[in-house]
Structure 1
Amino acid sequence: MFKLRRPAMTGPRPPRLTRPRLPRLISTIVSSIWATVVVVMVATLAIAAVAGSTAVVQVDQRTRAEANSRLDAHARTVSRAIDARVAKTQDDVRLLAEDQTIGAFLALPASAQAGAPAGAKPGTGQPAGSGGAAEQRKAINDIVTYLSQRDGLDASCVVGASGAEVACEAYGRLLTPEELSTNARDADFLATVALSRHQVHVSDPYVSKASKRWVIGLASPVVLADGAVAGIVRVEIPVAWYEDEIISRPFGGGAYAFVVSADGHLVYHPDIDAYRQAAGIPAGFASELPPADAKGSPSWAQMIARVTGGNTGATTYDDGGRTWRASYSEIGGKRFVVSVSPVDELYAAVEQSHQTLLVTVGPLAVLLLIVIVLFATRLSASNRRLATTSRASSELAFKTTAENDRMQASIVKLLDEVSGAADGDLTVKAEVTTDVTGAIADAFNYTLSQLRDLVLDVQQTTTQVTASARELQATTGRLAELGATQAEHIGTTLGTVSELATSVQHVSGNATSSASVAQRSLEAAGDGARAVAATIEGMSRIRDRVQETGQRTKRLGERSQEIGEAVTLIDEIADRTSILALNASIQAASAGDAGRGFTVVAEEIQRLAERSAEATRRIALLVKTVQSETHEAVVSLDDVTREVVEGSGLADQAGQKLHEIESISGELAELVESISEAAALQSAQAAELAASIGEISEVTTMNARGASESAEEMGHLVSRTERLGESVSVFKLTA
């Protein structure tokens, strides 16, 4: 609850200031303040300098570490990409060496291998050698061609144990038998033959005889089941692979990457021909690999020596008047990828941060120095003025003491006047005087006036909301009662419609019976004179049945009128429900946030009322159709009745009228058949009407349930508004 507390006026009064102590006290306070300000400024400048220096060091270290990490990652990424590509080719070579087709072909005698691709046998037109060997050789040609073209190899060959090439795809084409080498027993061949199954020999870079480019050879032995080496599978990887992987991963700026072998020769370098020229080697792909230290500074040569002597790391060197950083990573144990970048570009972000900090911290330090100087100058001048003003202040001290006493008395009086507000009395009013408390009293009176108006508005609003909520609760209760009454009426209507459906079914059965009687009458009329009496009797029965059918049809029309009245009642109920839903929405809107939940319920009731109206319109349409067809049936039955009477008169006359009776009986049979069909249609329509009334009953039940829930919610709203009124009733608003 809102509560004001009156400050306690206890304790001794403040001591009075005497003339001799006041000047010295003021001088001491002012001097202390200025000294404190100067100390704070100096401390702030020192802290800013230390913080700026620390920030510079931290940013410098972090930025340099990030730049070094990026260069190291570039070298590792390139080396891993090259290793992965070479490792995949090694796996392909190993699998090719284990291929059964290659092993089976190399296990054949040399004569069978040589005869497989030869020309036709003399006089036969068939290939020389066995068809199986020829197919195996063709399969081997297809395998080496596919592998070479898929992986972009310079060459892919199968070599027998004697050193003769069996198949070879080199530099984009399959070599003919005449182009195949018959003696490929070089050092790499012998090194490969000495290996065991699943092993792969990796050569040093050499110039390919086929492509005339620098390549690296991979070879694996073809080992038979008995452990004998039948030959080897050899491929040549172009050194251009290194260039492809490096170019596809640029570092940016003046940085670049190169590949150096373990013996200190450049395998790839963006400017490798310059090193060849420095070493006296002709330029070109087929030229020798130049030494990495053929040109450059001694620091460059030391960097190359460090790279070739380690696995992975980083170093710096000076070359071309610039300092460079080199990060290197090993490739397959024989070569190294080296990524180099100028230090000034690599650490450009560090210099940028230095400049930023200098621009930020420098002006701040200068500003603090200027402020300190100004404060020191003002401190000196203020001390001089203090001596002059303290004498005048001593004379005013006594006047100030008296003024303080008067002010304290005014404050006590003001507190006494407004103490009633602490107990909720908002009618109190402080006296507005000319002294210093007059403005406070005026402000307090204005505040209480505004608070009083606010509390009064809250009370009035609470009363209005409570009254509206109660009225809305009553309206919702009436709506629930009307919904229950509506449901009861619809239940009665549903029973009436069910009876109507039963009656229509009886009409359909009687019409079927009438059709049967008419058929028998037609047959009797054909029997001759003997059947005249029977025809008269049959006509009498037909007349009775037709009259009965006419009566039932008239009753059906009367029932249709009753259904129309019920439909009118349902339509009125739906209209009233829609109006009630609209009124409920208006009341909920006037209730504000408290009636938002009931607005949703009112909208749902509105939609249900619209569905009820739609169903009522459908029922009315069906009733009109039944009434129309019933009227047509009554007219038809009247005609039938007249025809039956005339037929009876003719049957009483003479036998010569027998053929007329037969004609009339035929017409009667057709007419009764149409009556049967109309009755069946009415039966189906009555069933559909009963289903529609059932749906209306369900909708009405939902309306009544929603209205009950809304009434309960409005009860909660009334309780809340009553509690709100009680909470603000504690304030006194009138004198």
Structure 2
Amino acid sequence: GRPESYTGLRSGKFFWNDEARETLSDKAIKARAPQAGELEWISPAGTRRLVAVTTTPFFDMDGNLLGSITFWRDVTERRDQQRRIEEQNAVIAQAAERADGIAHHLAGASEHLLDRIDETTRGTDHQRGRIQETATAVEEMNASVLEVARNASDAARNAELTKQSAMNGQQVTAESVNAIMKVREQARKMSESLHKLGEQAQGVGRIMNLITDIADQTNLLALNAAIEAARAGEAGRGFAVVADEVRKLAEKTMDATKEVHAAVSGIQESAGVNIRLMESAGKEVELGADLVKNAGDALAAIVKVSVETADMVRSIATAAEQQSAASEEITQAVDAVNTIAGQTAQAMGELAGTSREVADVAAELREVIGSMSSGSGPKSLA
């Protein structure tokens, strides 16, 4: 309306349409001092506005109060902007707090990862040392297996010789039996035949001595093989069993040889008695025939045992060669594992460096977040 229409109105009526309302202008006049504040004002159109009110009393030259001057300033957009900034600052503060927690967790995880990497690196170094020890042990075992294979091959050749000698002795015994049968059928040539039998018995004794020597050598080889198997540990257990069986067979051979020696001695004694006592030649010849037959049976058993011994020793040699090949493959595998362990140790070192970089970045991130948090709090506007 027209300005003169508002002359004499109270400020409460003018601004708020409320005659009884005390305004800042009223307070300034009462206090005779400036007043200021922010108020929420609803326009006639119903729009909500925030206004900054400043009122100052004024006086005449004599100090008499004349009235007050009031300034209204619309700060709605400013306060709305301040509110949005405060809300954004709150969101930033929350995000900074969460980021600080994440950075703290990341730093802790990096430290834990570094500890685990250090443990893994130490374990890898220890593993490489143990792998090297294993490789050395495998090489030593391989050398022992090769030695066992060579000894087994030698034992196989000796067993073959034993078999051949036993077969020869068996043949000699068969010839002795035939000779005795001829002596029994030709009593008139008893003396000559008995001498021949004595000579043949001596030949059998020499053969038995040879068989005894061979059995001693077989027993010694079996003992050496058992020692080598014991050195080989778990891998040589089966070989030790076979070597023990070879030793037992050698002892049986020696026992059988002793029996043959006893039989040959009996033949020689019987031959001497028959030479001196021609009248009892028939009975003595029969006794000699039985003894020689027993000797043939013993030699047949020796042949059988010798064949089995040769087969078993050849099997031992083959198994030792196969074990040597397997040991070589183990050596190659251990070398490959050692290489992989070295690569793993190198990768652990690189990973440790990366983890330290991550920890440094997390620390820098926390510093940035800290500076962000300290500068993001709500600030009042003037």
* Aligned-pair CA distance for 1:714: 1.8
Question: Is 1:509 aligned with 2:115?
Answer: no
Conserved 8 A contact 1:578-1:610: yes
Unaligned stretches of 5+ residues in structure 2: 1-87, 347-382
Task: Report how many aligned residue pairs link the two structures.
Answer: 254
Amino acid at match of 1:560: A
Question: Is 1:721 aligned with 2:327?
Answer: yes
Aligned pair partner of 1:483 in 150, 153, 159: 159
The aligned residue for residue 214 of structure 2 is 573
**Closer/same/farther in 2, CA of residues 20 and 450 from structure 1, 3 Å limit:** farther
Aligned pair partner of 1:605 in 224, 233, 246: 246
Instruction: Tell me, in whole angstroms, the C-alpha distance in 2 between the residues paired with 1:19 and 1:463.
Output: 72
Conserved 8 A contact 1:588-1:596: yes
Conserved 8 A contact 1:585-1:602: yes
Question: Is 1:705 aligned with 2:311?
Answer: yes
* Aligned-pair CA distance for 1:575: 1.9
Amino acid at match of 2:279: E
Alignment of 1:231-250 (within 5 A): none
Deviations along 1:164-202, one digit per CA (max 9) or x if unpaired, are xxxxxxxxxxxxxxxxxxxxxxxxxxxxxxxxxxxxxxx
Instruction: Tell me, in whole angstroms, the C-alpha distance in 1 between the residues paired with 2:235 and 2:157.
Output: 24
* Aligned-pair CA distance for 1:476: 1.4
Aligned pair partner of 2:263 in 622, 626, 637: 622
Instruction: Tell me, in whole angstroms, the C-alpha distance in 1 between the residues paired with 2:197 and 2:101.
Output: 115
The aligned residue for residue 126 of structure 2 is 450
Instruction: Tell me, in whole angstroms, the C-alpha distance in 2 between the residues paired with 1:22 and 1:602.
Output: 84
Alignment of 1:644-723 (within 5 A): 672-723=278-329
Amino acid at match of 2:260: I
Instruction: Tell me, in whole angstroms, the C-alpha distance in 1 between the residues paired with 2:236 and 2:100.
Output: 68
Aligned pair partner of 1:559 in 200, 204, 214: 200
Conserved 8 A contact 1:465-1:591: yes
Instruction: Tell me, in whole angstroms, the C-alpha distance in 2 between the residues paired with 1:684 and 1:603.
Output: 34
* Aligned-pair CA distance for 1:583: 2.3
Alignment of 1:284-303 (within 5 A): none
- Superposed CA RMSD in Å reads 3.3
Conserved 8 A contact 2:230-2:236: yes
* Aligned-pair CA distance for 1:606: 2.5
Aligned pair partner of 1:632 in 273, 277, 300: 273
The aligned residue for residue 584 of structure 1 is 225
Amino acid at match of 1:718: S
Alignment of 1:234-383 (within 5 A): none
Deviations along 1:422-469, one digit per CA (max 9) or x if unpaired, are xxxxxxxxxxxxx77764454233112211112112211221222222
* SS of residue paired to 1:729: helix
Alignment of 1:48-59 (within 5 A): none
Conserved 8 A contact 1:508-1:683: no
* SS of residue paired to 1:591: helix
Instruction: Tell me, in whole angstroms, the C-alpha distance in 1 between the residues paired with 2:273 and 2:93.
Output: 125
The aligned residue for residue 175 of structure 2 is 499
The aligned residue for residue 460 of structure 1 is 136
Deviations along 1:525-565, one digit per CA (max 9) or x if unpaired, are xxxxxxxxxxxxxxxxxxxxxxx654443332222221111
Instruction: Tell me, in whole angstroms, the C-alpha distance in 1 between the residues paired with 2:140 and 2:225.
Output: 17
**Closer/same/farther in 2, CA of residues 613 and 729 from structure 1, 3 Å limit:** same
The aligned residue for residue 147 of structure 1 is none
Deviations along 1:579-615, one digit per CA (max 9) or x if unpaired, are 2222223323333333333333223323322221221
* Aligned-pair CA distance for 1:702: 0.7
The aligned residue for residue 472 of structure 1 is 148
Deviations along 1:10-64, one digit per CA (max 9) or x if unpaired, are xxxxxxxx98458868xxxxxxxxxxxxxxxxxxxxxxxxxxxxxxxxxxxxxxx
Instruction: Tell me, in whole angstroms, the C-alpha distance in 2 between the residues paired with 1:500 and 1:561.
Output: 11
Quote the sequence identity (%): 22
Conserved 8 A contact 1:615-1:696: yes
**Closer/same/farther in 2, CA of residues 437 and 683 from structure 1, 3 Å limit:** closer
Instruction: Tell me, in whole angstroms, the C-alpha distance in 2 between the residues paired with 1:497 and 1:491.
Output: 10
Instruction: Tell me, in whole angstroms, the C-alpha distance in 2 between the residues paired with 1:476 and 1:609.
Output: 15
* Aligned-pair CA distance for 1:632: 2.4
Deviations along 1:614-637, one digit per CA (max 9) or x if unpaired, are 211111111111112222233x1x
Instruction: Tell me, in whole angstroms, the C-alpha distance in 1 between the residues paired with 2:194 and 2:170.
Output: 21
Alignment of 1:154-233 (within 5 A): none
**Closer/same/farther in 2, CA of residues 20 and 613 from structure 1, 3 Å limit:** farther
* Aligned-pair CA distance for 1:577: 1.7
Higher relative contact order (CA 8 A, sep 6+): 2
Instruction: Tell me, in whole angstroms, the C-alpha distance in 2 between the residues paired with 1:587 and 1:552.
Output: 52
Instruction: Tell me, in whole angstroms, the C-alpha distance in 2 between the residues paired with 1:706 and 1:555.
Output: 39
Instruction: Tell me, in whole angstroms, the C-alpha distance in 1 between the residues paired with 2:259 and 2:147.
Output: 36
Deviations along 1:312-336, one digit per CA (max 9) or x if unpaired, are xxxxxxxxxxxxxxxxxxxxxxxxx
Instruction: Tell me, in whole angstroms, the C-alpha distance in 1 between the residues paired with 2:208 and 2:325.
Output: 41
- Give TM-score scaled by structure 2 length: 0.58
* Aligned-pair CA distance for 1:566: 1.0
**Closer/same/farther in 2, CA of residues 398 and 499 from structure 1, 3 Å limit:** closer
Conserved 8 A contact 1:567-1:619: yes
**Closer/same/farther in 2, CA of residues 458 and 21 from structure 1, 3 Å limit:** farther
Amino acid at match of 1:609: A
Conserved 8 A contact 1:19-1:397: no
Amino acid at match of 2:329: R
The aligned residue for residue 4 of structure 2 is none
**Closer/same/farther in 2, CA of residues 477 and 549 from structure 1, 3 Å limit:** same
* Aligned-pair CA distance for 1:718: 1.6
The aligned residue for residue 349 of structure 2 is none
**Closer/same/farther in 2, CA of residues 468 and 686 from structure 1, 3 Å limit:** same
The aligned residue for residue 167 of structure 1 is none
Amino acid at match of 1:723: E
* Aligned-pair CA distance for 1:703: 0.5
Instruction: Tell me, in whole angstroms, the C-alpha distance in 2 between the residues paired with 1:19 and 1:567.
Output: 112
* Aligned-pair CA distance for 1:510: 3.5
